[in-house]
Chain A
């Protein structure tokens, strides 16, 4: 029973355009949602997060939006760059479960030069 879902396994975007990666969740009792970025043969690295009490967090080219009524969040990358090509995972973090992460299946982003 997967609690965090990323329904798009892949996404291709032209360099300079906006990339939008989506994530849906089922459990409302979370503290944070995080986005991790993963290159081949490397471990996931933290990208950006959002607290359960916020609806938007921005860091440079990256913005995460949280819609709690729809149980949906999205990561916007603008402008997209070829170096952004990677697999992106959203992860739910709950302090009442020892801060383990519940990950989605990942979306592979390809930014075309």
Chain B
């Protein structure tokens, strides 16, 4: 079974530019989560999809961030325009149908975003 994949692994952009991160969850996983870790801080929740619907987007920092999950498969997270404080590692995680059981969120390797 292929794991969660994320693209790109690294992105370096200038302030004001746009970046789109992609996450491909494990096939058949309805739940998809986005998290972010700023250097030295905790891994912080951004939002949760169940299939193509946003279940909870309470962690999204502001309206410069837009997440989509077309057809309930892969997801994209767009930052437009990017600011310096958006730098960090963005993780995607997925889990099976219904309420995730304990420890059943599988994480991708992350995308390291650097905004200069």
Q: Would A95 and B99 count as touching, CB distance under 8 A?
A: yes
**A34 to B95 CA separation, bound complex (whole angstroms):** 15
Interface with A: B37-45, B65-73, B76-84, which one?
Answer: B37-45
Q: Are A34 and B56 CB-contacts (below 8 A) given A43-B108, A103-B43, A106-B42?
A: no
**Binary interface profile of A, 14-49, with partner B (CB < 8 Å = 1, else 0)?**
000000000000000001101010000111111011
Interface centre among B91, B95, B102 (most CB of A within 10 A): B102
Number of A-B contacts (CB under 8 A): 70
**A42 to B56 CA separation, bound complex (whole angstroms):** 25
Write 12 A-B pairs (CB below 8 A) sorted by A numbering. Answer: A9-B40, A34-B103, A41-B9, A43-B108, A44-B91, A44-B107, A46-B103, A51-B102, A95-B99, A99-B99, A100-B48, A103-B43
- B interface residues, Cβ below 8 angstroms from A: 4, 9, 31, 33, 35, 40-45, 48, 55-56, 59, 91, 93, 95, 99-100, 102-110
